[in-house]
């Protein structure tokens, strides 16, 4: 079973507003409300492609009940620890005229030590059923900053592959534990390294150090229309058609979901790169989070430009 971990889930509210500006009053011409958080997004997208997953993390209040009910309707197994307070809401505004996207994220409910310990026990039990762990996103208040390091170490101790997509100090701690795959926030890595990562040369130099530490796959975004893949067989640059982009809201999670599908289907390295970015671009061509169909993704695959850099 594929297990996803989202320690700080959210209800994502996405609004399409033409010519959005701060200080005004706008009527949205399109709105979507969906369960969110990186692991949950991956679970939903995998479900759309016919794969079974189990979603874990913390839920609270009315929003938490909404997330649980939607996931169950999607036939996604849920194993959340319920806590006091209210699961956060993320608001995302897409300006379809100015092509600017604006997001506002809440911190999430406080997680008491007792609730965190309960989650760790649940996680340890789920490891007995897991073939792959996908985890990521922010941490809610109360959860230790080294939580991802703990979860990665527990999974690796059971010889279970673990993939991490996070940012900030939780990412850095998680990387020390050696996940099999890491999705890198290049803006944060730029601050840590003190080097601008807008150039391809600098990006390769910084992320290659992580690859040298034993992380089999490291993926970093390149501008807004591609990704650099550090793979067991070399470094690849993959680019999509930025003219087709409507919203990049869920594109990063779609890429990770594509990586999972490629892993499950034992695709070659280059096919994995091409398919995963095709998933990201299919998601980006419409406001609704996720995929219209597997066929829609396959139509994008030939359009992805892949170049082996090293």
Q: Please enumerate in sequence order all residues whose Cβ is within 8 A of that of 159, keeping only pairs 6 or more positions apart, or say none.
A: none
pLDDT of residue 186: 65
Classify 282 in phi/psi space as left (phi over 0), alpha (psi -120 to 50) or beta. alpha
In the CATH scheme, what is the code of domain 2-308?
3.40.1190.20
**Considering the chain, what is the average pLDDT of its residues?**
91
Distance of alpha carbon 165 from alpha carbon 221, whole angstroms: 12
Express each pLDDT in 97-131 by its tens digit.
767 888 999 999 999 999 999 999 999 999 999 99
**Torsion of the alpha carbons at 10, 11, 15 and 21, rounded to the nearest 10:** -40
Q: Is 20 helix (H, G, I), strand (E, B) or coil?
A: coil
**Cα dihedral across residues 71, 73, 75, 77: positive or negative:** positive
Express each pLDDT in 252-306 by its tens digit.
999 999 999 999 999 999 999 999 999 999 999 988 899 999 999 999 999 999 9
Distance of alpha carbon 255 from alpha carbon 273, whole angstroms: 9
Taking 70 as the threshold, does the pLDDT of residue 193 lie above it?
no
Taking 90 as the threshold, does the pLDDT of residue 225 lie above it?
no
pLDDT of residue 244: 77
Do strands 30-36 and 100-105 pair parallel, antiparallel, or not at all (unpaired)?
Answer: unpaired
Least confident of 55-59, 202-206, 298-302: 202-206
Distance of alpha carbon 247 from alpha carbon 9, whole angstroms: 20
Distance of alpha carbon 137 from alpha carbon 236, whole angstroms: 25
Number of H helices, E strands in the chain: 10, 14
Domain ranges of the chain: 2-308
């Amino acid at each position: 079973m594929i297990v996803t971990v989202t320690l700080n889930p959210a209800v994502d509210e996405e609004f399409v507003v033409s010519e959005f500006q701060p200080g005004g009053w706008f009527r949205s011409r399109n709105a979507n409300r969906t369960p969110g958080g990186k692991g949950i997004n991956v679970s939903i997208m995998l479900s759309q492609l016919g794969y079974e997953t189990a979603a874990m993390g913390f839920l609270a209040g009315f929003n938490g009940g909404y997330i649980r009910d939607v996931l169950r309707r999607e036939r996604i197994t849920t194993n959340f620890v319920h806590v006091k307070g209210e699961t956060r809401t993320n608001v995302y505004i897409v300006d379809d005229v100015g092509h600017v996207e604006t997001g506002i994220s809440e911190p999430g409910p406080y997680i008491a030590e007792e609730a965190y310990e309960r989650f760790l026990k649940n996680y340890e039990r789920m490891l007995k059923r897991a073939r792959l762990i996908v985890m990521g996103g922010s941490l809610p208040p109360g959860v230790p900053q080294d939580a991802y390091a703990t979860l990665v170490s527990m999974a690796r101790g059971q010889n279970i592959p673990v993939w991490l997509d996070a940012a900030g100090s939780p990412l850095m701690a998680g990387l020390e534990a050696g996940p099999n795959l890491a999705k890198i926030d290049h803006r944060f890595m730029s601050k840590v390294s003190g080097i601008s990562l807008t150039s391809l040369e600098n990006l390769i130099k910084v992320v290659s150090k992580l690859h040298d530490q034993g992380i089999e796959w490291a993926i970093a975004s390149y501008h807004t229309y591609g990704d650099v893949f550090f793979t067991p067989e070399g470094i690849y640059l993959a680019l999509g058609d930025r003219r087709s982009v409507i919203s990049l809201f869920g594109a990063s999670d779609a890429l990770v979901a594509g990586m999972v599908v490629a892993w499950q289907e034992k695709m070659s390295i280059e096919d994995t790169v091409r398919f995963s970015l095709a998933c990201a671009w299919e998601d980006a061509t419409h406001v609704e989070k996720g995929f219209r169909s597997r066929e829609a993704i396959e139509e994008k695959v030939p359009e992805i430009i892949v170049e082996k850099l090293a």
